[in-house]
A and B are shown apart, each in its own frame.
Chain A
Amino acid sequence: GAVVSQHPSWVICKSGTSVKIECRSLDFQATTMFWYRQFPKQSLMLMATSNEGSKATYEQGVEKDKFLINHASLTLSTLTVTSAHPEDSSFYICSAGGESTEAFFGQGTRLTVV
């Protein structure tokens, strides 16, 4: 299957700082990427849909000014958590859409805000 690389795999940051997470499709072009958040023992909740060259589409309840998404190329989307707070600590996962029906996931990023 296709490979999606997410970086970093884990990050610890201080409250009030910003953190950028990268999602790259390594062997295919992804016109659409998705960002999910997963709290412990819960499901993956879709945060936003990232389209190359255009503004992201955010799900209801997700603050677009707090979770900045940029999809500047067909192989890279970034999620920036701005002014992070402890309640933002979570597992963030990206996925990329290709030609098949399978969603290809990155390895995930575990964010801890202290």
Chain B
Amino acid sequence: GQSLEQPSEVTAVEGAIVQINCTYQTSGFYGLSWYQQHDGGAPTFLSYNALDGLEETGRFSSFLSRSDSYGYLLLQELQMKDSASYFCAVDPGGFKTIFGAGTRLFVKA
């Protein structure tokens, strides 16, 4: 079976740093992705980790530990526009994407 666990919601203030954790249990694993989704919109790709370690893309960084079946998304210098849902997703192979339940991030002024 496949399961991904992430917090249901997180609240932070503008300018702060927030970390969204994700643990997974899947029958196949090629990599961990993160997607951002604003209300009413489609998911947009943020990052993909296939190997252990930290990947940095601007204000967003993503980390993976395959041995721990764990990853996280780190958002720095939070802005109001970062308020959205963030999904971790496992690539079990074959271009399929299995999504976690999502974390709603609320950024306050």
User: Which residues of A come within 8 Å of B, CB atoms?
Assistant: 1, 32, 34, 36, 41-46, 49, 93, 95, 97-98, 101-108, 110
Contacts and interface: CB of A to CB of B under 8 A. Distances in A.
A108 B87 contact: no
Contacts of A98: 95
Contact of A46 (B44, B87, B96): B96
Interface residues of B, number: 24
Contacts of A1: 45
A102 B33 contact: yes
A44 B99 contact: yes
Interface of B: 30-31, 33, 40-45, 48, 50, 87, 89, 91, 94-102, 104
Contacts of A36: 99
A31 to B, nearest CB: 9
B101 A49 contact: no
A105 B97 CA distance: 11
Contacts of A107: 41-42
B97 A95 contact: yes
Given A42-B101, A43-B100, A102-B48, A108 B42 contact: yes
A90 to B, nearest CB: 13
Nearest to B44: A105
Given A101-B50, A102-B48, A49 B43 contact: no
Contact of A105 (B43, B91, B98, B104): B43
A103 B95 contact: yes
Given A32-B94, A93-B42, A106-B42, A101 B100 contact: no
Nearest to B46: A102
Contacts of B40: 110
B85 to A, nearest CB: 8
6 smallest beta-carbon distances between A and B, as pairs: A97-B95, A108-B42, A43-B101, A105-B42, A44-B99, A103-B97
B42 A103 contact: no
Contacts of B42: 93, 105-108
